[in-house]
Amino acid sequence: MESFLDWDAHRLTAALTTRALSATEVMRATLERIAQVNPAANAIVSLRGDDALMVEAAAADAGAVKGPLHGVPLAVKDLANVAGLPTTMGSPALADQIATTSDIMVQRMQDAGAIVIGKTNTPEFGLGSNTFNPLFGITENALAPGMTAGGSSGGAAVALAHRMVCLADGSDMMGSLRNPAGWNGVYGHRPTWGLVPGNAAGDLFAHPLSTLGPMARCPQDIALLLDVQAGPDPRLPFGRASAGFARKLGADVTGRRIAWLGDWGGAYPMEAGVLDSAAGALAHLEASGCTVEPADPPFPAAALWEAWTTLRAWSVAASLRPLYEDSATRDRLKPEAIWEIERGLALSGQEIQRASALRSDWFRATARFFDRFDAFVLPTAQCWPFPADMHWPHEIAGVRMDSYHRWMEVVIPVSLIGLPCLAVPIPGPRPMGLQIAARQGNDLGALQLGAAWHRQIPSSHP
């Protein structure tokens, strides 16, 4: 018998806002589901007490409908602040840090009626695409037990796949909304920079790389949450207005031109079967009326990698330097974090300027590319999910990976210049996904293609 926990979020939220379902019913079922599956899945951490959550759900039932997420239980990625809850970022150095205020994205979800039940697990500081950390341990793949969930939004993807939540937030610097979505049979959208505001702290201008965004089990639910999260924050530059995405997903995509970039002309090593899985799945876009054609890489992969690794190390060093320089916390940082920090601190101004110039060249190249195509597609990862106790793959297709994140190089074309990109799950015996990337600002176009994709595929949910 189908449970309302199996419903897509737009159906569940409609039932909650019309009072066909009570927030108390939904919260009780959610907590029961978490008690059943989370001890093994380890997706939700810092879970609030049942009594406090039931009181909050009862208050939602007794009060007015606050917004489109009225009464929806939600767990927030453990990189974002929720007032009164720990923000550990998976690090022993921050184990006792309690947030005093909610970040604006979180506050928007709470103002829309969501009830935050806890946090979702993440790698330490979100570094690496395997969700494990010394505080909470490993989050395993929802579709392939014993394998990695991906990351850094691995806890969010697994919580969605196991029906512990119907919506989830995430963040994406290097595929963190896309890789775990593809590996757990759900959807993750990396928005155009500025569409979903981040935390208004620290430097606001220099070389943004990461963004916040939604995850869900279908594109309609992605749009539902994105409409809540999106919109400018006057404390931040480069804000973008929401486009009312949920109302516009049913567009006919017939005639849209899609570029298949595969392994970027052989530049990205791929584990056996990954390219075949992704290329075969392109038939779902063709069945929607799109024209899919192979395309030559529009920019050198080596230049993308140089720009990315320079700017990423510089960004990580800027954010984690205080912990690195404090003797009480430095020894508690994982080796990958220390590697990034030390590399970032050693960079010269000229190296950073060169990386920025390369990024600018890539942005100009995409402007020309999108004059020919409406979107381009790539796999969400270069390998299948690997064992969860392996920190990262050191070799793919006989090629040695020279850093802890080289095996995720396929996500860099999107990340480097902040393109909107929806990760969609590929049906099949092994978990994999496809990135659908569009021109900057054309989040709606990417989501419409994802909605057309979703209509073509059988359910890939666990």
In the chain, what are the domains?
4-456 (3.90.1300.10)
E-strand stretches of 313-407: 375-379, 395-396, 399-400
Summary mean pLDDT of the chain: 96
Q: Are 44 and 120 in contact (CB under 8 A)?
A: yes
Tokens encoding 240 = 């973008």
Residues in the chain: 462
pLDDT above 90 (res 410): yes
Which amino acid makes up residue 77? K
> From CA 121, how far away is CA 31, in angstroms rounded?
17
Q: Which helix (H) or strand (E) holds 294?
A: strand 291-294
Contacts of 131 (CB under 8 A, 6+ apart): 121, 122, 123, 138, 139, 148, 149, 150, 151, 152, 154, 155, 158, 180
267, 297 in Cβ contact below 8 A? Answer: yes
Q: Which of 91, 129, 152, 460 is catalytic?
A: 152
- 119: number of Cβ within 10 Å: 27
Question: What percentage of the chain reaches a pLDDT higher than 70?
Answer: 99
How many Å apart are CA 2 and CA 25, to the nearest integer?
A: 15
CA dist 288 and 254 (Å) reads 6
How far is the CA of 220 from the CAs of 27, 85, 110, 291, in angstroms?
Answer: 22, 29, 20, 23
State pTM to two decimals. Answer: 0.97
Question: Would residue 152 show up in a list of annotated catalytic residues for this protein?
Answer: yes
Task: Give the pLDDT confidence of 99-143 residue by residue, as tens digits.
Answer: 999 999 999 999 999 999 999 999 999 999 999 999 999 999 999
Chain centroid to CA 172: how far? 5
- How distant, in Å, are the alpha carbons of 114, 183, 265 from that of 27? 11, 27, 49
315 labelled catalytic: no
Q: Which amino acid is at 108?
A: R
CA distance 145 to 68: 34
**If 0-12 CB within 10 Å is exposed, 13-18 middle and 19+ buried, where does residue 291 land?**
middle
Which of 91, 102, 171, 176 is catalytic? The answer is 176
- Tokens 């796999």 sit at which residue? 379
Q: Tell me what pLDDT residue 459 has.
A: 64
Residue 95 has a pLDDT of 95
The confidence score (pLDDT) of residue 458 equals 74
- Strand residues in 134-193 grouped as ranges (E): 137-138, 167-172, 187-190
Across the range 86-101, mean pLDDT stands at 97
Contact 293, 257 (CB under 8 A): yes
77 is catalytic: yes
Give the pLDDT of residue 414.
98
In SS3 terms, 342-364 reads as HHHHCCCHHHHHHHHHHHHHHHH
Please give the pLDDT value at position 355: 97
CA distance 113 to 115: 7
Rounded CA-CA distance 350/176 in Å is 29
Please say if the pLDDT value at position 287 is more than 60: yes
Query: How do residues 356-393 score in pLDDT, each as one tens digit?
Result: 999 999 999 999 999 999 999 999 999 999 999 999 99
Quote the pLDDT of residue 462. Answer: 44
Of 46, 77, 102, 315, catalytic: 77
Burial 306-331 (b: 16+ CB within 10 A, else e): bbbbbbbbbbbbbebeebbeeeebee
Q: Considering the chain, what percentage of its residues have pLDDT values greater than 90?
A: 95
Torsion of CA 65, 68, 72, 75, to 10 degrees: -130
Cα-Cα-Cα-Cα torsion 320, 325, 328, 330, nearest 10 degrees, comes to 60
What is the pLDDT at residue 205?
A: 87
pLDDT at 188 over 80: yes
Half-sphere exposure of 155 (CA within 13 A, CB side): 34
Average pLDDT over residues 154-158: 98
Beta strands 73-77; 115-120: pairing state: parallel
Angle at CA of residue 277, ends 273 and 280, nearest 5°: 135
pLDDT band at 460 (very low <50, low <70, confident <90, very high): very low
Average pLDDT estimate for 351-359: 97
- Beta bridge partner(s), residue 169: 214
What is the structure's pLDDT at 461? 44
Place of tokens 């939604």: 214
Spatial distance between the Cα atoms of 141 and 119, rounded to a whole number of angstroms: 17
